[in-house]
Structure 1
Amino acid sequence: MSPLSLPSVLPTVHCDTPAETPAEAPGSRVSAIRTVKSAIAVPETELKRWRRTFDANAQTTVNGEKHVDCFRSYLNPEQFVNAIAPKSDLQKIGRTQFASLFRVADTNRRGLVSWDDFVVFETILKRPDADYYIAFQYFDADDSGTITYDEFKNEFKANIGPDSIPFDFECDWVKLYLGKKNGTHVLGYGEFTQLMKGLQGERLRQAFKYFDKDQDGFIRSDQFKRIILEIAGHKLSDAVIERLPTLTTLTPGGRISYSEVIAFHNVIREMDMVERIIREATSKSKDGRIDQSDFLNHCAACTRYSLFTPMEAAIIFHFAGRGNAGQRLALIDFAQLLDPRWKAPSEQIEANPVSQATSVLQQVAESAYNFVQGGIAGAFGATIVYPIDLVKVLFMILGDWEDLSKCNLTVPNCRLVGQLLYKNSLDCVRKVFRNEGFLGFYRGLGPQLIGVAPEKAIKLTVNDFIRSRAMDPETGRIKLFWEFVAGGTAGGCQVVFTNPLEIVKIRLQIQGETAKLEGAKPKGAVHIIRQLGLFGLYRGASACLLRDIPFSAIYFPAYWHLKRDVFGEGYNGKQLAFLEMLASASIAGMPAAYFTTPADVVKTRLQVEARTGQTHYKGLTDAFVKIYREEGFKAFFKGGPARVIRSSPQFGFTLVAYEYLHKFLPYPFNGHDRTVETTLTSPPEDLSKVRARNALKILLDVSGDFGRRST
């Protein structure tokens, strides 16, 4: 796909209306922006996306009259905001403030943005410095390409209210940028960007000096709150704004010093770095909590210089800890400081029987929802690896024993009478395919799918339930002991469904080849269930417990620690990719599957229907003893590699399916989420909208009221 040059794709607008196309004088805003447009190539797919956005918000009438010849379509200020504003920021930044950017897009000064204008504006947003570039265009009122002292002063005053804290335009700081000597000193684009970066600090200094009438270096808490609201109110949540006066409690005297005001402003200005340090430090902490020392230590370890002072750290923990700055805090405690959109979770004022009953029903409904998702995920994983499982079972029971050729078939201890069926796993695959075709690899899948839903569902649901109860609700951490308990309990509970399922499945799997060998007709699952009876379906249950409890106790903790400690899930808000999640789930299944193979071998031998000449096992202990005597220690790990090959991908795909079901089909009636979603962790928005938002925030550094008075 080759990019298209913008002038070749922009529509030509012909109109006799004087306001349609003003003269493009050299150096004018229109001429300068058209130059930018022609210098940047835009892929055709992006132009189409812009067109869809434009058409979705534009209209073709002006004051109720159609102007098809003049304006095919256009955006008024409200429609323009709909097209360019990120939806996530409209809580703290008003729509009228986003409309300030309309003035930059409306290059022809007609009160309308055409498709031509919109493409130009979107093209500007592709610049890496789009935020400062748009701010420069806003202050460049005469479209000259430079900003004079008067332009800066007039635009500044036009966007702050009459009751705002006054700003001295004759101060030395302004003169450093816009001083006069032998004429007027004007600002080019580069100089303007530096002025805007330092403007808020000068605003803060002047505002403090304005309230510090007696020049003792202190102001009252209400004055501090007014300063912060004017220059940074859009960067703070309502909870932090309400508690701004409490900054007086950090030092004796009941007033706020200039040092504290500057420290608070530095925290706001470096909030992205504050968040990164907090996320990293809490992620590495053993208990998921940090104190001021942990914060400063991690800051020193991950930054080149001491970025934050002890006073700034104290302010961070003061507002996150709701006044108790000395406690160890979890990531969730910092949410109100990190995210200006933060809302306090709704708290139940009064507990009553009705609400308690509703809460219980809610938990039951959520568990049932998870149960269904677990069943779907389990069926998916089982279907993918079922051929491997078939080969594993056949080889484990009828496979390659080297000493069979030496076996005296008249001796009762010789386990199998007859020919050697499979030399190895590949030989097993070839013979199953030759004798039964491709569908032979799915022999016994029906009962497996019928039983796998409750089996996997109960394992996943029980594990999640116990983990959620043992988990610290603020840090999301759980002690290793409880991880083992959750996994082991889940494995034990699933045996209720696992044992009947597997005994039927195993007998269905082995009878295909043995029936051909003996000339018998294969029996169905119903016949096997009737033959076994209720108690027979739980034959080998003790071995099944011996296998499933340690399997799950190993598997689930390994899975969660691989995700978090190896692949870094949650680190700075990271979400794992599909392959990372699949690798975590699959790798965790390897040790769990292999180390529980002895129990699986014994369980399988107990559950298979013994034929004439085969060794009969009376129980768990008897099976262990006889297998060891007849076949040696290696027999306990017979089929171990095949079990790893089968169990690892099965649980990998099962867990991945379960995670993605939770992600894309979450329980719809969940309460408040305890995760901390900020700009760093939220799903990425369209980059042009992000840059439009950042351009407005640079203007808001002038005043929180910027754009409310004029657009």
Structure 2
Amino acid sequence: MSQQQISLPAKLINGGIAGIVGVTCVFPIDLAKTRLQNQRAGKQVYKSMMDCLVKTVRTEGYFGMYRGAAVNLTLVTPEKAIKLAANDFFRHHLASGGKGLTVFKEMMAGCGAGMCQVIVTTPMEMLKIQLQDAGRIAAQQQKPVMMAPTKLGTTNTLLSRSYNSGTVVTAPRALSATQIAKELLQTQGIQGLYKGLGATLMRDVPFSVVYFPLFANLNRLGKSSTEESSPFYWAFLSGCAAGSCAAVAVNPCDVVKTRLQSLSKGTSEESYNGVMDCINKIMQKEGPSAFLKGAGCRALVIAPLFGIAQVMYFVGVGEYILDNSPMRLLN
């Protein structure tokens, strides 16, 4: 069997394709997760994930479930590609003499991958959340969602008020991601797109620390020998199991990140001045259980997303993302 080292661009391309396929399949559940996490006690529009999806289809149509999908599909390619390729890069350089990695080194590689991906993840989710949550705010105020984009001049006051002071927004607008990005860049500079960076790091670094070593060890159980790859179905199941466990473990951080990155607020919804302020206010007003909002949705999103990502990555590269040796093309 001849072996050929796979180039970094090939890993990036296949990691990106894996992300696109996964996001397309699970995006409606991710939308439900965002809306459930942003709900406050006493102002609940949705009772559960299914209730959220049903009401979204009724009020916004089928494509309402894909509100914000465009920005996610645009940026998920570099985001997932960086995450998967960075993890492979760190694992390769942490491996000594071709020996298997220790669990600690696997966790360090995952940590490095998580820190690299936030470069793209933070602005991507910042924009996505605004689009996903617009329907919840409109439903809370019992007003229809406006599907046509508004003029940028009108959005300046809207975004600035909701971002800086938390003033109630009486009519959420169906803005485009481009309009929101331009407004943030004009009024706050690049840091406007990176609001919630600390919370994103709090979520993504621990997620990668848990996910990558867990997947590597689960996937290894499906191998008949060290020289062979595990079957496709085993890699998919391993990715689903590792992804769901890691997703639930870091869900409190995801709730904090979602709240911090939401620019527009519903009626009487408070604003937060940083991570600790957000944590304290959630604890005082909603209790510890609020940190588990959307946990089921998040597990349902992440499980197939990473299961699909592992299989798609294998199809293009020829080996799973987390083998202990450098990735090779198996002929």
Task: Report if TM-score (shorter chain) is over 0.5.
Answer: yes
Check if 1:470 corresponds to 2:94.
yes
Deviation at 1:426, TM superposition (A): 1.6
Q: SS of the residue aligned with 1:571?
A: coil
Check if 1:425 corresponds to 2:49.
yes
Q: Deviations over 1:379-424 (max 9, x none)?
A: 111111111111111111137x3xx1xxxxxxxxxxx5xxx31122
Is the 1:593–1:647 Cα contact (8 Å) retained in structure 2?
A: yes
Deviation at 1:377, TM superposition (A): 1.1
Q: Higher Cα Rg: structure 1 or 2?
A: 1
For residues 518 and 542 of structure 1, the distance between their equivalents in structure 2, rounded to whole angstroms, comes to: 34
Is the 1:463–1:486 Cα contact (8 Å) retained in structure 2?
A: yes
Check if 1:552 corresponds to 2:204.
no
Is the 1:515–1:522 Cα contact (8 Å) retained in structure 2?
A: no
- Equivalent residue for 1:444, pick from 51, 68, 93: 68
Identity %: 38
Deviation at 1:515, TM superposition (A): 3.3
- Equivalent residue for 2:247, pick from 576, 589, 593: 593
- The residue type paired with residue 471 of structure 1 is A
For residues 472 and 478 of structure 1, the distance between their equivalents in structure 2, rounded to whole angstroms, comes to: 8
Which runs of 5 or more structure 1 residues have no equivalent in the other structure? 1-87, 89-341, 346-361, 405-415, 665-672, 676-681, 684-711
For residues 435 and 674 of structure 1, the distance between their equivalents in structure 2, rounded to whole angstroms, comes to: 47
- Equivalent residue for 1:579, pick from 214, 233, 236: 233
Check if 1:375 corresponds to 2:31.
no
For residues 473 and 563 of structure 1, the distance between their equivalents in structure 2, rounded to whole angstroms, comes to: 22
For residues 29 and 129 of structure 2, the distance between their equivalents in structure 1, rounded to whole angstroms, comes to: 13
- The residue type paired with residue 294 of structure 2 is G
For residues 495 and 457 of structure 1, the distance between their equivalents in structure 2, rounded to whole angstroms, comes to: 12
Label 1:474 to 1:512 Cα distance change in 2 as closer, same or farther (>3 A). Answer: same
Aligned to 1:537: 193
Is the 1:602–1:623 Cα contact (8 Å) retained in structure 2?
A: yes
Aligned to 2:132: 509
For residues 88 and 226 of structure 2, the distance between their equivalents in structure 1, rounded to whole angstroms, comes to: 24
Label 1:555 to 1:572 Cα distance change in 2 as closer, same or farther (>3 A). Answer: closer
List structure 1 segments (4+ residues) > 4 angstroms apart after TM superposition.
none
For residues 282 and 216 of structure 2, the distance between their equivalents in structure 1, rounded to whole angstroms, comes to: 36
Q: Deviations over 1:682-704 (max 9, x none)?
A: 99xxxxxxxxxxxxxxxxxxxxx
For residues 38 and 304 of structure 2, the distance between their equivalents in structure 1, rounded to whole angstroms, comes to: 22
- The residue type paired with residue 394 of structure 1 is R
For residues 573 and 478 of structure 1, the distance between their equivalents in structure 2, rounded to whole angstroms, comes to: 16
Label 1:467 to 1:527 Cα distance change in 2 as closer, same or farther (>3 A). Answer: same
Q: How does 1:553-632 map to 2 (within 5 A)?
A: 553-564=209-220, 566-567=221-222, 569=223, 571=225, 573-611=227-265, 612-632=267-287
- The residue type paired with residue 442 of structure 1 is Y
Deviation at 1:575, TM superposition (A): 3.1
Deviation at 1:610, TM superposition (A): 4.0
For residues 490 and 648 of structure 1, the distance between their equivalents in structure 2, rounded to whole angstroms, comes to: 18
Deviation at 1:674, TM superposition (A): 9.9
- Equivalent residue for 1:456, pick from 80, 89, 100: 80
For residues 644 and 572 of structure 1, the distance between their equivalents in structure 2, rounded to whole angstroms, comes to: 30
Q: How does 1:203-602 map to 2 (within 5 A)?
A: 366-398=7-39, 401=41, 404=42, 420-475=44-99, 477-515=100-138, 517-519=142-144, 520=171, 521-533=173-185, 534-564=190-220, 566-567=221-222, 569=223, 571=225, 573-602=227-256
Label 1:603 to 1:434 Cα distance change in 2 as closer, same or farther (>3 A). Answer: same
Is the 2:10–2:317 Cα contact (8 Å) retained in structure 1?
A: no
Aligned to 1:648: 303
Q: SS of the residue aligned with 1:580?
A: helix
Is the 1:511–1:522 Cα contact (8 Å) retained in structure 2?
A: yes
Is the 2:16–2:77 Cα contact (8 Å) retained in structure 1?
A: yes
Q: Deviations over 1:49-107 (max 9, x none)?
A: xxxxxxxxxxxxxxxxxxxxxxxxxxxxxxxxxxxxxxx9xxxxxxxxxxxxxxxxxxx
- The residue type paired with residue 437 of structure 1 is G
Q: Deviations over 1:627-685 (max 9, x none)?
A: 11111111111111111111111111112111221129xxxxxxxx999xxxxxx99xx
Relative to the length of structure 1, the TM-score reads 0.39
For residues 570 and 623 of structure 1, the distance between their equivalents in structure 2, rounded to whole angstroms, comes to: 48
Deviation at 1:573, TM superposition (A): 4.1
Aligned to 1:118: none
Relative to the length of structure 2, the TM-score reads 0.81
Aligned to 2:288: 633
Deviation at 1:577, TM superposition (A): 2.0
Deviation at 1:513, TM superposition (A): 3.7
For residues 224 and 51 of structure 2, the distance between their equivalents in structure 1, rounded to whole angstroms, comes to: 45
Is the 1:593–1:644 Cα contact (8 Å) retained in structure 2?
A: yes
Q: Deviations over 1:118-140 (max 9, x none)?
A: xxxxxxxxxxxxxxxxxxxxxxx
Aligned pair count reads 290
Deviation at 1:570, TM superposition (A): 5.2
Is the 1:610–1:616 Cα contact (8 Å) retained in structure 2?
A: no
Q: Deviations over 1:219-245 (max 9, x none)?
A: xxxxxxxxxxxxxxxxxxxxxxxxxxx
For residues 575 and 557 of structure 1, the distance between their equivalents in structure 2, rounded to whole angstroms, comes to: 17
- The residue type paired with residue 506 of structure 1 is I
For residues 102 and 91 of structure 2, the distance between their equivalents in structure 1, rounded to whole angstroms, comes to: 9
For residues 514 and 614 of structure 1, the distance between their equivalents in structure 2, rounded to whole angstroms, comes to: 10
Q: Which moved more, 1:454-463 or 1:435-444?
A: 435-444
- The residue type paired with residue 630 of structure 1 is K
Is the 2:130–2:264 Cα contact (8 Å) retained in structure 1?
A: no
For residues 616 and 443 of structure 1, the distance between their equivalents in structure 2, rounded to whole angstroms, comes to: 23
Aligned to 1:323: none
Deviation at 1:572, TM superposition (A): 6.1
Q: SS of the residue aligned with 2:195?
A: coil
